[in-house]
């Protein structure tokens, strides 16, 4: 039986990103993903904006509520999606668990700006027996899973060195790449601040950092969101070069081969191998991996504990940055 689902928050990731794009071209939002996935039934949504509620009801033919408590009582969801601004995540999770007993909660990233709030969110879900997941969408992308498999099998050999460019804040968007690199390269083992950088909106720092992971080292560099968005990773290893471009829309691999002109030297192949990805339907794949996890199948989706680990390391870096 499909699991009933309620979305709290009808902003960009909740509903708006794919409003003007056909389903065959994109699934960027929770509303679209949960409305079409066979493992779930979209029961309704919550948002303070009457305009957004009206739009949601018109598109999805489901009720939309201004009040969280009313929505929970009326729909009794098994799955709750928290797609509100980060500042409200903790309060919403508290309210949800005080009123209802969902099977799982899927929360937007990061869990919270305050690390203590993030810890409390994970602990409360544990106490209530509610499974907590965090919407780091790249963990569920087919191309990312393929890269992980190649690293595990040694096709992308260790040790690995790389550069990761991020913009619009270390916590807000840098966390996507940090979490992804934890997935690929294992636990963070150490770091060094190279430049303190600036703060976005007075809250989110943008440092340049050198980070050691279990399987390699990555230099994180902050770009300028006001000029253009930029989220890329380049990994080098003894077997070749991986390029993760445009936030994951393009993933390519250049294997090394023996230089035909200079014996004893190796170079990278001129034509990269394209690793297929699914970023145009990223939210569907998160939803699909959630469904698999709830059905006790092998799944690639970020758990609350994994997301908290990401935040713990990032806050260590931020606190160092403040000293």
What tens digit of pLDDT does each residue of 290-304 get?
Answer: 999 999 999 999 999
pLDDT of 261 strictly over 90: no
pLDDT of 323 strictly over 60: no
d(Cα 237, Cα 153) in Å, to the nearest integer? Answer: 14
**pLDDT for the residue 113:** 87
Q: How far apart are the first and last CA of the chain?
A: 53
d(Cα 44, Cα 31) in Å, to the nearest integer? Answer: 9
d(Cα 164, Cα 186) in Å, to the nearest integer? Answer: 16
When pLDDT is averaged across residues 20-24 and rounded to a whole number, the result is: 95
Give the confidence band of 322 by pLDDT, cuts at 50, 70, 90: low
**pLDDT for the residue 240:** 98
pLDDT of 259 strictly over 90: no
Q: How many Å is the maximal CA-CA distance in the chain?
A: 73
**pLDDT for the residue 281:** 97
**pLDDT for the residue 103:** 98
What tens digit of pLDDT does each residue of 108-121 get?
Answer: 998 998 999 999 99
Report the CATH architecture of 3-137. 3-Layer(aba) Sandwich (3.40)
Domain-by-domain residue ranges, the chain? 3-137, 142-277
Q: Is 106 helix (H, G, I), strand (E, B) or coil?
A: strand
Q: How many CB atoms lie within 10 A of CB 308?
A: 21
Which residues lie across from 64 on neighbouring strands? 45
**pLDDT for the residue 274:** 98
CATH fold for the domain made of 142-277: Dihydrodipicolinate Reductase; domain 2 (3.30.360)
Which pair of tokens denotes residue 64?
């939309």
pTM of the complete model: 0.93
**pLDDT for the residue 82:** 98
**Minimal CA–CA distance to 300: which of 180, 175, 215?**
180
CB 36 within 8 A of CB 27: yes
Q: Which residue has the tokens 């380049």?
A: 234
Give the confidence band of 263 by pLDDT, cuts at 50, 70, 90: confident
**E-state strands within 155-207:** 160-166, 188-195, 199-200, 204-205
Q: Is 49 helix (H, G, I), strand (E, B) or coil?
A: coil
Q: Using the Cα atoms of residue 75, residue 78, residue 83 and residue 85 in order, give the sign of their dihedral.
A: positive
d(Cα 171, Cα 223) in Å, to the nearest integer? Answer: 14
Mean of pLDDT over the chain: 95
**pLDDT for the residue 318:** 84
Which pair of tokens denotes residue 131?
């499974």
Our CA angle for 47, 51, 52, nearest 5°, is 45
Q: Which residue has the tokens 């969110």?
A: 121
């Amino acid at each position: 039986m499909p699991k009933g689902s309620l979305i709290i928050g009808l902003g960009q990731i909740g509903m708006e990103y794919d409003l003007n794009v056909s389903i065959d071209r994109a699934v960027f939002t929770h509303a679209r993903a949960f409305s079409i996935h066979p493992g779930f039934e979209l029961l309704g949504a919550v948002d303070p904006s009457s305009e957004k509620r009206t739009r949601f009801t018109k598109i999805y033919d489901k009720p939309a509520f201004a009040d969280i408590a009313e929505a929970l009582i009326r729909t009794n969801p098994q799955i709750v999606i928290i797609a509100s601004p980060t500042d409200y995540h903790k309060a919403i999770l508290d309210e949800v668990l005080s009123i209802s007993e969902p099977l799982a909660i899927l929360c937007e990233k990061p869990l919270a700006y305050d690390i203590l709030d993030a810890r409390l969110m994970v602990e409360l879900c544990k106490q209530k027996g509610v499974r907590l997941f965090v919407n780091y969408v790249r963990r569920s992308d087919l191309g990312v899973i393929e890269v992980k498999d190649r690293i595990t099998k040694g096709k992308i050999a260790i040790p690995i060195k790389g550069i990761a460019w991020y913009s619009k804040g270390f916590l807000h968007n840098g966390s996507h790449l940090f979490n992804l690199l934890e997935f690929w390269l294992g636990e963070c083992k150490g770091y060094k601040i190279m430049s303190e950088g600036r703060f976005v909106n007075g809250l989110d720092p943008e440092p340049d950092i050198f980070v050691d992971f279990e399987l390699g080292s990555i230099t994180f560099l902050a770009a300028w969101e006001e000029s253009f968005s930029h989220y890329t990773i380049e990994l080098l290893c003894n077997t070749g070069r991986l390029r993760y471009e445009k936030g994951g829309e393009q993933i390519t691999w250049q294997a090394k081969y023996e230089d035909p002109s200079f014996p004893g030297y190796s170079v990278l192949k001129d034509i990269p191998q394209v690793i297929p990805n699914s970023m145009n339907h990223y939210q569907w794949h998160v939803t699909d991996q959630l469904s698999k996890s709830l059905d006790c199948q092998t799944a690639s989706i970020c758990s609350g504990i994994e997301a908290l680990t990401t935040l713990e390391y990032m806050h260590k870096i931020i606190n160092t940055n403040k000293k």
